[in-house]
Amino acid sequence: MSLEQTISKEIMEAMKAKNPVRLNALRNAKKYILEAKTAGPGIEELSDAEVLKIISKLAKQGTDSAAIFVQQNRQDLADEELAQVAVYREFLPAQLSDEELTAEVRAIIAETGAASVKEMGKVMGIASKRLAGRAEGKDISDKVRELLA
């Protein structure tokens, strides 16, 4: 069963369970998936990787929105966003710990032979693809910069 089909099934279960937060989050994900499918001619199915990219983007947006709501003293809205982010994270692969990220980036640096921050682009190109969905882009960038410095 594809990830898109799983989300559709989960929407039905959330309706039956009368879980509005989960239902809203899943419907939002489904909306973005449908928009991506209708964005260009000839796109009938999205791969699971493309669906994961959409869900990852929604999780990041929700986290960023929650941070803004906290700054504006709107904890109620922040809690709602974070609850939806928790639903999105159920579909994402487990995030790398700091130690795992360090080990992965060190391996990529050794593989590319990069020796200075000037070669950061070479490392980031590979790291971004290899660690997509398992680590935030900013965290990858910070770790690469730290290890090349």
Rounded CA separation 87/13 (Å): 13
Helix axes 137-148, 98-112, angle to 10 degrees: 60
- What is the reported pLDDT for 121? 87
Residue with tokens 């660690």: 131
* pTM given for the model: 0.75
pLDDT digits (tens, 9 = 90+) for 75-106: 999 999 999 999 999 998 888 888 888 888 88
pLDDT digits (tens, 9 = 90+) for 44-61: 788 888 888 899 899 989
